[in-house]
Amino acid sequence: MSLATVRGARAALLVVAFVGCSDASTQPAAPVGSTGGGSASAYVVTGRVTDAAGRPIAGAEVVANNQLLVAANVVGRSDADGRYRLQLPEIPATWAMSASLLRSYDGNAYRLVLEPSDASTFAGNRGAARDFTWRVQGPRPDGGFYGSPVIAYHDPENYDLVMEDVELTLTPVGPIIDGSAGRTIVQRLRATADGDAVVDVPLGRYTIAAREAASGRPPRALQIRRRNTGSYASTLTTSFAAPYGTNLDVQQIVVEVRR
């Protein structure tokens, strides 16, 4: 996930880290459907956390964010079957649900935001059923993507290099973060709030090659390196950095290219 897509609704996750929250992780789980369609009870939120294949995820952090009061979130964790149950205080308030999990990969620790079955808010006295799914790629309901960007800059000496003409080829090295094989991605850079980038890349370790593919001219291989780091080469093998650790769901690869 990119830094530009963190602001807004997802800032609610940060509140959990350092304000007084109620911990409902010890509440017994109530069975619900896998699509968030379980029956709701007043002042109770239930649901299940799974990966994209429907396998349960234990230990995911689930947050009921109070839209009325500050420092009044309710926090719980999914059990071995991926189920959770949060008991809300009996106050007149509206709530929004979010969930995240922590994963380590290639020496890095990441906080990953999960996809809700229903992103709408709800009144506490109605309760809700909300499932969450771990997606490694695809659009998020609040904007941005579940994948992360590979951001590219040109070497200062190549000031005339048009970045929209630069094409990156990303070849996965081993399984990606969810254990699947991943796939090769070939895309031109596009302008984003984070800079010129290939967006929505599943977290993994990749060998990256770059070429200049300007219209009307033969493609030209470019050299590549991590930005301001090391020597240029024909390819770069690397994984995503998490510049803010697990405090924010920000992961990125930043490279530099030259002719």
Q: Would you call 5 helix, strand, or coil by DSSP?
A: helix
Specify if 140 maps to a domain: no
Look at residues 79, 108, 134 and tell me which one is the last residue of a structural domain. 134
Are residues 125 and 155 located together in one domain of the fold? Answer: no
CATH number at residue 75: 2.60.40.10
Query: Domain total for the chain?
Result: 2
Instruction: Report DSSP letters for 218-258, one per residue.
Output: --EEEEEEETTSS--BS-EEEE-B-TTTTSS---BEEEEEE
**Phi, psi (rounded to 5 degrees) for 204:** -175, -175
CB-neighbour burial class of residue 108 (10 A; exposed 0-12, middle 13-18, buried 19+): middle
Output the pTM of the full model: 0.83
Specify if 87 maps to a domain: yes
Specify if 143 maps to a domain: no
Tell me the Cα Rg of the chain: 21
Nearest to 98 by CA among 121, 127, 124: 121
Count of CB atoms situated within 10 Å of the CB of 123: 13
SS3 for 45-57 is EEEEEEECCCCEC
Are residues 218 and 101 located together in one domain of the fold? Answer: no
pLDDT at 222: 99
In contact, 30 and 46? CB cutoff 8 Å: yes
Specify if 142 maps to a domain: no
Are residues 185 and 236 located together in one domain of the fold? Answer: yes
Query: Domain containing 237: what range?
Result: 148-258
pLDDT at 3: 57
Q: Which residues contact 94 (CB under 8 A, 6 or more apart)?
A: 67, 68, 121, 122, 123, 124
Nearest to 10 by CA among 69, 82, 97, 75: 97
Are residues 70 and 109 located together in one domain of the fold? Answer: yes
Question: Measured between alpha carbons, how far is 246 from 48 in angstroms, rounded to an integer?
Answer: 23
Are residues 50 and 81 located together in one domain of the fold? Answer: yes
CB-neighbour burial class of residue 1 (10 A; exposed 0-12, middle 13-18, buried 19+): buried
Specify if 172 maps to a domain: yes
Are residues 152 and 120 located together in one domain of the fold? Answer: no
Are residues 162 and 217 located together in one domain of the fold? Answer: yes
Are residues 126 and 176 located together in one domain of the fold? Answer: no
CA angle 238, 61, 20 (to 5 degrees): 120
Count of CB atoms situated within 10 Å of the CB of 207: 14
Specify if 108 maps to a domain: yes
Q: What is the pLDDT along the chain (259 residues), one digit of tens a residue?
A: 665 554 443 433 333 333 334 445 434 443 333 334 457 899 999 999 999 999 999 999 999 999 999 889 999 999 999 999 999 999 999 999 999 999 999 999 999 999 999 999 999 999 999 999 999 999 999 889 999 999 999 999 999 999 999 999 999 999 999 999 999 999 999 999 999 999 999 999 999 999 999 999 999 999 999 999 999 999 999 999 999 999 999 999 999 999 9
CATH number at residue 194: 2.60.40
pLDDT at 2: 63
Are residues 105 and 162 located together in one domain of the fold? Answer: no
Question: Measured between alpha carbons, how far is 173 from 154 in angstroms, rounded to an integer?
Answer: 25
